Amino acid sequence: MSIWGKIIGGVGGFAMGGPLGALMGAVAGHAYDKMKDGGAGTVAGDNAAQQVAFTTAIIVLSAKMAKADGKVTREEVDAFKELFNIPPDEMKNVGRLFDEAKKDARGFEPYAEQIAMLFAH
């Protein structure tokens, strides 16, 4: 199962609720896909749901770090694409989430705090 398909939920969630919305949207997208595939649709303790949330957070944090000096350069975008090896059919979804995150005026801290809370033991 590909986690990249869940990124669209992260994009929609981010548009409606910022960083927490992105994580929740990604997890909701995972639950929907799981139900569609005949699963129970629960995400509590689900490793795949955590992978989706982590992937969403990495995309958002990468955009925030690229924007930290005021402008995202082509070299920074190319480095991100090369490092994360994004499937061509998911490039548009990942790009949307990256673009929304870099437009948001908040710094990286709220995103980092939320991903830390998600993975706290």
41 pLDDT above the threshold of 50: no
Q: What is the mean pLDDT of residues 35-51?
A: 61
- Rounded to whole angstroms, how far apart are CA atoms 5 and 94? 10
Q: Which domain holds residue 8?
A: 4-118
- Rounded to whole angstroms, how far apart are CA atoms 64 and 2? 25
- Rounded to whole angstroms, how far apart are CA atoms 59 and 23? 11
35 pLDDT above the threshold of 60: yes
Domain count, the chain: 1
- Report yes or no on whether pTM surpasses 0.85: no
